[in-house]
A and B are shown apart, each in its own frame.
Chain A
Amino acid sequence: MSCNWRGQCYNFSMYKKILAAVNEFTNSELAAHYAITLSQSCRAKLFLVFIAQEGINKNAFKQAESALERLFVEADGRGTEVESITEKGEPLQKIHSMVKSDHIDIVFTSTRREDVTKRFFVKTLAREFMLKLPCSVAMVRVVRMGKMHPKDILVPLRGEMTHLEERACFVAKLAQGFGSSVTLFHSARPITSFFHGEVHLKPSLRERHIPKDVELFTECLDRYTITHEKRIEYGGISRAITIEAAYRRNDLIIMGASERSLLRSIIRGNPVEEVLRETPCDLIILRPRHEHQ
């Protein structure tokens, strides 16, 4: 806990215990790299966990074990307190009980390409984790191997957000860990009038329309002395985010989990789901659970 000159105190090391769920797929291993960096940056204890489901084949088991071993060596080499756990059973149940018993702050899980082809991720383990684990969850979609150190992280922000402190902490700690710069991005609905259609605003005027929560988030981020730039664009949210990431050659996108209900998602679409499908770089969807302290 740190306090600023105004006497306001913030929990700068929100994450004390981090769990990364690993399996036989490479993207879970790559996702766990983000967990290692966050653990190192937060000086948190890292739990590398492989839950072998019933009927898993021998090769897959071996793959997962090797991944666990490689990750352990890497985390240990980076001076992180790390524990490697292999158990048999249902991943959700097992990890749920670990989160409870070990007071895990955040779980890293990965999602595969075939998960994102399912509408609203129904019946995917990643979605179950997001909805049912009693801690923060970072769902990682790895689209590209080989880029281990994001140079610039794109952080799309909604106009209204909760858990600003935790979001800022997560972004800042990862950025610190990778030595990355951060681009805060807000995609707003275009300003329109009935007769004039879409009103074009120059960037200098756009800044006046930045929502309050984005400003608050920036304030939170400023406490971590992270280099950041702010951009505001108009248009469809998901399309604006993916274009921005492709155009700016961002290496990682960190965005909040969808708060839209299933019905609203069916009617109005779900930007998070759309970004997951079309992201040009790795993507972390964060569902924060830590309240502001």
Chain B
Amino acid sequence: MKIHNISRGEVFQNLITSEKGLSEEDAARRLREYGLNEIKEVRKKPLSLRFLSQFTHFLAVLLWIASAMSFLSEYLHPGGGMLTLGIAIVAVIFVNAVFTFIQEYRAEKALEALKKLLPFYVKVLRDGTEKEIQAIGVVPGDIIILSEGDKVPADARLIETNELKVNNAPLTGESEPQLRSHNSFDGDIIESPNIVFAGTTVLSGSGRAVAFATAMSTQIGRIAQLTSAVETGLSPLQKEIVRATRIVATIAAAVGIFFFSLGFLIGRSFWENFIFAIGITVALIPEGMLPTMTLSLAMGSQRMAKRKALIKTLTSVETLGAVTVICTDKTGTLTQNKMAVRRLWFDDRIFEVKDLTGDNVVELLRIAYLCNNARFLDGRYKGDPTEVGLFKVARETLGELKAERIREIPFDAERKRMTTLNAVEGKIIALSKGAAEGLLPLCDYLLINGEKVPMDETLRRKTIAVCHSLMDMGLRVLSFAYKEIERSAVAVTSSEEIEKSMILAGLIGLEDPPRPEVAEAIMKCNRAGIKIIMITGDGSRTAVAIAREIGLIKGNPVVIEGREFNQMRDRELRENLLGKEVIFARMTPKNKLRVVSILKEEGEIVAVTGDGVNDAPALKKADIGLAMGISGTDVAKEASDMILLDDNFATIVNAVEEGRTVYENIKKFVTYIFASNIPEAVPYLAYILFRIPLPLTVIQILAVDLGTDMLPALALGAEGPTPGVMKQPPRRLKERLLDLPLIVRSYLFLGPIEAFACMFGFFWVLYNGGWTLGTMLAPTDMLYLQATTACLTAIIIAQIGNVFACRSSKESIFSIGFFSNRLIFGGILLEIALQLFIVYHPFANRIFGTALLPLSVWLILIPFGVVLFLAEELRKFYVRTYRHASS
């Protein structure tokens, strides 16, 4: 026994109220019990704490220790330059924290949009008197007075109705006005006509209802709770970043501790060991990786915006590339949401629109014209797409019709039909249109060639068979019936009587044509190994036919209808979802969350489309929630990660392609950045092992990581998609950003070449300046400053060769186009400009501990960049040949 299936008296009894409403004292007491009627956000970790947590993870802690030690040593040995280092490390911690936070931050505005659905003031009955109160003061048991234009403040059970129609679209997505009644109802509460829900609007009529749920207990409150409480978890990229930073931090800490201990054993002083430990840690940590990644994602989102996909959270850019399943709506996304009449069945034959003459189809099209709320105004058809489709064909075939509408029994989901009473040529005719299952049982006759033929079982079965055959063509089928009513009986005849014993005039099949670009987009998805699941409110036959037409299915799909879905246990649904081709028909938006949850539990990366308020939890739960930019509600848009500005499925596929490209590009610049860690670390190993002056200072390392490397790395992030990007399956969850081939390539191939270059530059300057092995130079010695500058310059030059090398992992740069990414050249120019500033400007010399370099040193070092580039070309050639041979 629930609130919607009990009688009016029981409603009062259960909600402990009466026809006079609550007393003010009762209402005040209940307000204390149930709280204010408002949508509230569930408690979450405050933004400040979320930001602070960026300073306490493993890598940050390691860097905090390094900076604390730097400050300590500055205190113990003032003037040793450790203060600058300490400050620089703290700056690195802040830079990384800010950039990570930017990636993770997302403004939670979905609840704001939900709150706007509730009214400010509402009329209630208290102590038997009608009063206007603030909507937040409504309590369970209050009698709410509803009239045209009112927003409903709480979930309430109707006790009185007078032609009350509500717009449930914010909650259920049903755009048609819903006629409400106060009679008890057996069935699901959401479909119950005796319930009005908070956030919906009264379109016409009036009524009284008893509030039974307020605030977060309402349906809209439940959506709010799910939307704000559901957590997607870390995106695949965020997980990879965590993993990569932990690996790097562990390597840095282990190498630091090992050589620190080794230094002690071979008799190095604490001070020397300390400089080494700090240096090796800073050298091995890619300080510039997170800022570069964030900026690269931002650039990716800009590119997506140009392709009509508006990204709201930065990491979503990459998540799209990892998507394995797309759950998509049909109407408006795969199709154009423009219904057009394709086939008509009357006089026992199926006709195409072009065969209509006007004489042979009068009855059928007259119903389609008059039992219709679409209009032709200012040269345009306006109204519900299905009604517009019907009205258009009827108007264009029959011309303008004049008939006074006397009464309307509106469409509702339970009856699945609509009826109007019209005065036509002096007669009163009841005209009905609706789904075959709703209207056929009410028809006792079939109109064949102007004759009323009794509808026997054979005829009925035949009609149903025709209906199914039209549905199998992908058409939405509506049936049309009529009957004449005595003028005197109009006022006294009940709706049930009017719709009894009707004459079936025929069936009309409408098609919502697929978007032209969808078939190609689906083919791309198939090649890219992405599974597409259609979730539609349409019947299964129509859904399957459309899916077949656009190439979504080829074999025998698993088709699950809403009713069956609701009865399925998770295990059963999970097994069905494993099917290669899956279609959900007759579904409501609330079902989407369950589909998304199960797919996620199975380890899929899920993208889901949605437009209604009810879609918000699923949009939030999915790895990528895709809201419709044109037809979507504000709530859906706010809950999503990406907005499709054109509501088009093809845009999703374009965005996936962009996402995959972004991931490939991230791998490219991670290789580029990691390669420079080796020439940064080797000088420290040489320093501790061979008792030479320190070839590269920590500040110079930071100049590379956070300065010169950044722009070329960003340019790598802007590389275009490779031709095969949508021909390979989605990357596996086990595939790592920092995988073995990447580490080997950067640490054991590219890195050592760069390390050789930098050490060569350092010793070239030293030996030419008269230095001999074993001589220690003061940090301010001009020869030492020039040598470290040469070491730094060698890294920069090698990195210029490296940036070209990293543009691809296997293909030759000449095959992908040497000049195809102009930004690379811009990045290199800026890198050189920055290095010139570091080498030749006195201010930069002071900061970075550098000195002027003669041109001869540059000329000696330039070949290293070329050598690195050529070595990579050779390696790629070998990989291509080897791969070709092995395949």
Contact = CB atoms under 8 A, between A and B. Distances in A.
Interface of A: 24-27, 29, 59-60, 63, 67, 70, 112-114, 142-149, 194-198, 200, 202-203, 229, 231, 235, 239, 242-243, 246-247, 249, 274, 277-278, 280-281
A145 B243 contact: no
Contacts of A59: 25
Contacts of B231: 235, 239
A143 B34 CA distance: 7
Contact of A243 (B216, B226, B242, B602): B226
20 contacts: A26-B141, A59-B25, A113-B33, A142-B33, A145-B141, A145-B213, A146-B3, A146-B14, A146-B15, A146-B212, A148-B14, A195-B250, A196-B243, A197-B243, A200-B603, A202-B601, A247-B617, A274-B43, A278-B229, A280-B221
Interface string B593-605: 1100100011100
A59 B231 CA distance: 46
A18 B597 CA distance: 40
A278 B221 CA distance: 11
B229 A246 contact: yes
Given A239-B231, A246-B226, A278 B33 contact: no
Nearest to A67: B16
A112 B30 CA distance: 10
B247 interface: yes
B29 interface: yes
Nearest to A27: B33
Given A113-B34, A203-B601, A242 B229 contact: yes
A146 B213 contact: yes
B226 A278 contact: no
Given A144-B140, A247-B593, A281-B217, 4 more contacts: A26-B141, A63-B29, A113-B32, A247-B617
Residue of A26, A60, A196, A197 with highest tally of chain B CB at under 10 A: A26
A200 B43 contact: no
B196 to A, nearest CB: 13
Residue of A146, A195, A229, A239 with highest tally of chain B CB at under 10 A: A146
B265 interface: no
B42 interface: yes
A30 B518 CA distance: 54
B131 interface: no
Interface string B1-18: 111000000000111100
A274 B229 CA distance: 13
Contacts of A149: 1-2
Contacts of A27: 33
Given A196-B243, A246-B229, A278-B42, A145 B733 contact: no
Interface of B: 1-3, 13-16, 25-26, 29-30, 32-35, 42-43, 140-141, 157, 212-213, 216-217, 221-222, 225-226, 229-231, 233-234, 239, 242-243, 246-247, 250, 569-570, 574, 593-594, 597, 601-603, 617, 733
Contacts of B246: 194-195
A281 to B, nearest CB: 8
A145 B43 contact: no
B597 A247 contact: yes
B33 A26 contact: yes
A280 B14 contact: no
Given A145-B14, A146-B14, A195 B247 contact: yes
Residue of B13, B33, B597 with highest tally of chain A CB at under 10 A: B33
B25 A145 contact: no
A112 B139 CA distance: 14
Nearest to A25: B33
Given A197-B242, A242-B42, A278-B42, A145 B226 contact: no
A148 B243 CA distance: 50
If over half of B's interface residues share one DSSP class (helix, strand or loop), that class is named, otherwise mixed; here it is: helix
Contacts of A114: 32
Contacts of B233: 198
Contact of B217 (A144, A231, A239): A144
B359 to A, nearest CB: 54
A60 B225 CA distance: 33
Contacts of B221: 280
A33 to B, nearest CB: 10
B11 to A, nearest CB: 8
A113 B29 CA distance: 11
A57 B165 CA distance: 43
Contacts of A229: 569-570
Contact of A25 (B29, B601, B617): B29
Contacts of A281: 217
Nearest to A113: B35
Contacts of B733: 200
Contacts of A148: 1-2, 14
Contacts of A200: 603, 733
A60 B32 CA distance: 14
A205 B684 CA distance: 47
Contact of A144 (B13, B29, B213): B213
A281 B217 CA distance: 7
Contacts of A67: 16
A67 B33 CA distance: 16
Nearest to B230: A243
A76 B98 CA distance: 66
B229 A197 contact: no
A138 to B, nearest CB: 18
A193 B755 CA distance: 34
A229 B572 CA distance: 13
A113 B216 CA distance: 13
A68 to B, nearest CB: 13
- What 9 A-B pairs have minimum CB-CB distances, sorted nearest first? A146-B212, A146-B3, A145-B140, A144-B217, A113-B35, A246-B226, A246-B225, A144-B213, A143-B217
A197 B239 contact: yes
B198 to A, nearest CB: 13
Contacts of B13: 70
Contacts of A25: 29, 32-33
Contacts of B43: 274, 277-278
Given A242-B225, A247-B226, A112 B213 contact: no
Contacts of B239: 197-198
Contacts of A231: 570
Nearest to B602: A202
A197 B234 contact: yes
Contacts of B601: 202-203
B616 to A, nearest CB: 12
Contacts of B222: 246, 249, 280
Contacts of B597: 247
Residue of B229, B593, B597 with highest tally of chain A CB at under 10 A: B229
A114 B32 CA distance: 7
B603 A112 contact: no
A25 to B, nearest CB: 5
Nearest to B44: A239
A63 to B, nearest CB: 8
A196 B26 CA distance: 56
Nearest to B3: A146
B2 A112 contact: no
A146 B2 contact: yes
Contacts of B229: 239, 242-243, 246, 278
Contacts of B243: 195-197
A59 B27 CA distance: 13
A124 to B, nearest CB: 13
Residue of A60, A145, A196, A197 with highest tally of chain B CB at under 10 A: A145
Given A113-B35, A197-B234, A203-B601, A24 B29 contact: yes
Nearest to B40: A278
A60 B594 CA distance: 45
Given A197-B243, A247-B597, A280 B216 contact: yes
Nearest to B23: A59
Contacts of B617: 247
Contacts of A26: 16, 29-30, 33, 140-141
Contacts of A197: 234, 239, 242-243
